[in-house]
Structure 1
């Protein structure tokens, strides 16, 4: 999981994942939507693919990339206890604010 966090630390890679969240896209489409060169996008896609965050399929001369949610589910599971901690704190704050309004 540490490598997944390291991969996601890069803003450009997160932007690529955001674009792939809606649908699969060819490299050229990603290049058009990002302010990066084609070689740079390809390097980021290679890192994302090696981390298991994206999958690729070939259709004639084009490579189509899509989001692979597995590693993201691992991160979500790791974050769950922290989310519960924040929910408890926010619930306590809400109760306190309700008490103040009632005074």
Structure 2
């Protein structure tokens, strides 16, 4: 878990502390290492996408950003099943933030 947090911090992405919180929550719920790694990758790719879109705070995320992220992944040649898995992880991440009252969806 500490390695994933360190990798996130190194990148200087928006919402890093929230991503760490979400991954920590999964870790404490005894999720398998592979599950943590898959969630980490999906969340990291989403946060990197937001950074390229010049979003500095997660409060500005909207459904349009999720749609654009899906298109971005399609343009990268990802298969639909992989994109669906990534999107599921990102939606779970955003849902976690809403439930923790950290974030209100814009």
- What TM-score comes out, normalization by structure 1 length? 0.37
Higher relative contact order (CA 8 A, sep 6+): 2
More helix by share: 2
- What TM-score comes out, normalization by structure 2 length? 0.37
* Larger CA Rg, structure 1 vs 2: 1
